[in-house]
Amino acid sequence: ETAVFQTPNYHVTQVGNEVSFNCKQTLGHDTMYWYKQDSKKLLKIMFSYNNKQLIVNETVPRRFSPQSSDKAHLNLRIKSVEPEDSAVYLCASSWTSQNTLYFGAGTRLSVL
The residues binding other proteins (CB under 8 A) are 31, 33, 40-45, 48, 55-56, 88, 90, 92, 94, 96-103, 105-106, 108
CB of 14 to other proteins, least distance (A): 24
**Complex with other proteins: residue 45 or 60, whichever CB lies closer:** 45
Nearest alpha carbon to residue 36 among 54, 53, 26, 48 = 48
Nearer to other proteins, 60 or 88 (CB): 88
Residues written for the chain: 112
Is the separation of the CB atoms in 101 and 93 below 8 Å?
yes
Contact 62, 69 (CB under 8 A): no
Dihedrals phi, psi of 71, to nearest 5 degrees: -70, -10
What is the spatial distance between Cα 87 and Cα 45, in angstroms, rounded to a whole number? Answer: 13
For residue 64, the one-letter residue type is F
Closest distance to other proteins from the beta carbon of 78 (Å)? 20
Which one, 1 or 14, has the nearer CB to other proteins? Answer: 1
CB of 92 to other proteins, least distance (A): 8
Q: Residue 4 CB, nearest distance to other proteins (Å)? A: 10
- Taking the least distance from each CB to other proteins, the nearer of 7 and 106 is 106
